[in-house]
Structure 1
Amino acid sequence: MFHKEGQKIILIAFFLCSVIALIAHFYVGAEWLRVGIQLLAFGALVMVLQFFRNPSRVAPKTFDEILAPADGKVVAIEEVEETEYFKAPRIQVSIFMSPVNVHVTRYPASGQVVYSKYHPGKYLVAWNPKSSTENERTTVVINTPKFGKVGYRQIAGAVARRIVNYAEVGESVQQGEDAGFIKFGSRLDLLLPLDCQVTVKLNQSVVGARTCVATLAQKDDG
C-alpha cells in the first residue's frame, strides 16, 4: 500500500525508469552496460516505492498513552522553552526519519485540533537542534482528554522540501490516523506536558501508531 502523496511521483518514476530501461535495451550494445543501466533504473524505482509505502496500522486508541507519530529514531529527549504556542516549558521528544523510514505522520493522541500552522524556513540537516525553530515546519496542537494539550512539529530536513499537513483547527482526530506526510528525510518533534512520563530512550527505534512514547505520570499517594 502506498501513500496518496506519492502517487504522482511513483507514476513519473515508473515512466522514467521504463524509458531508461527500453533505451538501454535497444541502444546499448555492451550487455554488461545494458544490464547495469536497467538494474540501476529498477533500483531507483524500488527506492521511490519503499519511501512512499504506507503500512496499515490500527492504533489501540487509548487516552492513557501518547504514541509515536512517525517511524524513526529518538534523537533528543529534553525540556525546552516552547515559544510558538505554549510559551512555557515542555518535554520535547525528537524523532529522526531517515530516507528508508516510513514517512507518514500519524496523530499521537485523540482529541480536538486547536492549533495548526505552517512556517516557511531553512533546510538545515534534521538532526541539527536549530532545525526545530529555523527549518520549514508545521506545528499542530491537540487538546486531549487526559494529557491536556499535546503538540507535534513536522520539520523538513536538508533533503525534504515538502511537508503535507492534514490537521485543521476544530476537527476531532483519532490516535494513529493519517495526519500528513514529509517527503524525503525529516524530523518530528513531540511537545509534551512536563508532568507526563516519557517511556522511550535516546537512540531507540520507534514505530508510528505502535510505540508508546509517554504515559501519565504516576502520582505518589503517600
Structure 2
Amino acid sequence: MLTPQVPVAREGYPFIGLAAFITLLLAVCGYPVLTAIAFLVSLFVLAFFRDPERFVPPDDDALVSPADGKVISVEETEDAVFTKHRVCKISIFMNVFNVHVNRIPFDGKVESVLYRPGKFYSADSPKGGLENEYCGTVITTSAGQKLAFVQIAGLIARRIVCWLEPGDVIVKGRRFGLIRFGSRVDLYLPADTAIQVAVGDKVRAGETVIGVLKK
C-alpha cells in the first residue's frame, strides 16, 4: 500500500520558512558569506523534514518499523507502563540525518496515548528511555494482541508530535507523527513475536519488517 504523497512534513513549514526568510534577508543586505551559510542551513532543515513515500510489505502479520534509523537494543523485559505484559522491546535511534516522520507499525485500534514530560538525555544513552520526555501509544490488534510504540525526545529533540487519539482505528504504514531534531522510538511487542532485526541493523519506517506476530 502506498500512502498519499506529502514530500515535506507540514510541521517543518515554519522552520523552513524562517530559514528561507533569513537567507533572503542576508542576501538583500549584501552579506554573501552569511547568505551561503544560511542557505546551507535552509537545505538541512528542508532535508530534515522530508517525508518520502514508503511501500508497506503485504504480509498482514508483519510489523513494520515505526522509524528510520538504527536498531540499538533488542531485549525481553517486563513492561509495567504501557502493555502491562512481558514484551520484546526494540529501540530505534534516529540521528539528525534520518527521516523523522514516524509510521504506524501494525493495524489496530488506539487504546491510549500517554504523554509525560521529562529530561533530555541523549536518546541513544541508557538514560535516554522513560526518563526523557515521551509519548507512548498503546494499540490493540484485531486478534486482541496489545503492543505499544513510544516516541522519545533526545538531547536535541525537544518536540514530540503525535496525531493519534484513543479510539482511532489505525492502518499499518500510515504516518502518525514525528520528533524534531534527533530522537528515538521504542517498540513493545508481545514476547512471542518472531523478531526479524538485530542490534546494528538500519531500518526504514513503514517498510522494514521488524517482526511477525504469532497467530
TM-score (norm 1): 0.89
C-alpha RMSD over aligned residues = 1.6
Alignment-derived partner of residue 179 in structure 2 = 182
Alignment-derived partner of residue 71 in structure 1 = 68
What's the offset of the Cα at 1:147? 7.3
Which of 66, 69, 87 is the aligned partner of 1:90? 87
2:2 is equivalent to residue 2 of structure 1? no
Q: Deviations over 1:16-72 (max 9, x none)?
A: 12112322x2xx5xxxxx3x3332111100000000001122424643100000100
What's the offset of the Cα at 1:98? 0.3
- The whole-number CA distance in structure 2 between the counterparts of 1:173 and 1:94 is 22
TM-score (norm 2): 0.92
- The whole-number CA distance in structure 1 between the counterparts of 2:194 and 2:126 is 22
Alignment-derived partner of residue 23 in structure 2 = 17
> Residue 6 of structure 1 contacts residue 52 of structure 1 at CA under 8 Å; is this kept in 2?
yes
> Residue 83 of structure 2 contacts residue 138 of structure 2 at CA under 8 Å; is this kept in 1?
no
What's the offset of the Cα at 1:80? 2.0
> Residue 147 of structure 1 contacts residue 193 of structure 1 at CA under 8 Å; is this kept in 2?
no
Percent identity reads 38
SS class of match (2:63) = strand
Alignment-derived partner of residue 136 in structure 1 = 133
> Residue 142 of structure 1 contacts residue 151 of structure 1 at CA under 8 Å; is this kept in 2?
yes
Pick which of 37-46 and 63-72 moved more: 37-46
- The whole-number CA distance in structure 2 between the counterparts of 1:38 and 1:145 is 54
What are structure 1's unaligned runs of at least 5 residues? 29-33
> Residue 78 of structure 2 contacts residue 84 of structure 2 at CA under 8 Å; is this kept in 1?
yes
Amino acid across the alignment from 1:98: N
Which of 111, 120, 124 is the aligned partner of 2:121? 124
Alignment-derived partner of residue 160 in structure 1 = 157
What's the offset of the Cα at 1:217? 4.7
Would the alpha carbon gap of residues 183 and 98 (structure 1) be closer, same or farther in structure 2, given more than 3 Å must change? same
- The whole-number CA distance in structure 2 between the counterparts of 1:91 and 1:147 is 17
Which of 208, 211, 217 is the aligned partner of 2:208? 211
SS class of match (2:43) = helix
Amino acid across the alignment from 2:134: R
Higher helix share: 1
What are structure 2's unaligned runs of at least 5 residues? 1-6
What's the offset of the Cα at 1:89? 1.9
Would the alpha carbon gap of residues 91 and 73 (structure 1) be closer, same or farther in structure 2, given more than 3 Å must change? same
> Residue 93 of structure 2 contacts residue 184 of structure 2 at CA under 8 Å; is this kept in 1?
yes
SS class of match (2:93) = strand
SS class of match (1:134) = coil
Amino acid across the alignment from 1:6: G
SS class of match (2:129) = helix
- The whole-number CA distance in structure 1 between the counterparts of 2:58 and 2:160 is 25
- The whole-number CA distance in structure 2 between the counterparts of 1:85 and 1:125 is 22
- The whole-number CA distance in structure 1 between the counterparts of 2:110 and 2:96 is 28
What's the offset of the Cα at 1:181? 0.8
